[in-house]
Amino acid sequence: MYLTIKETADLLSMPESYVEGLILQKRIRAIHDGMQYLINKEQFNTHFEQLEKYKKLIEEINNEPIPEDIDIKDED
């Protein structure tokens, strides 16, 4: 499925100008049909999978119990 720059910007929650810049830098693959750029949506699957992976990792870290304080006595 192909998306326009506006649809891609909405999907990625980025400004349209930034997405267009990424296309011009060839960091996002796109096809120019003479009037507009068309971006294949499938190239972002890995990106979204990694986001989900990192969200789960952060959630696990946040849910990890805080270790009890070690009571260290000063021998002085």
DSSP calls for 9-38: HHHHT--HHHHHHHHHTTSS-EEE-SSSEE
pTM for this predicted structure:
0.66
pLDDT in tens, 19-42: 999 999 999 999 999 999 999 999
Domain boundaries, the chain: 2-63
Q: What pLDDT is recorded for position 32?
A: 93
pLDDT at 74 over 70: no
- The second-level CATH assignment, the architecture, of 2-63 is Orthogonal Bundle (1.10)
CA distances from 11 to 31, 37, 41, 72 (A): 18, 15, 9, 52
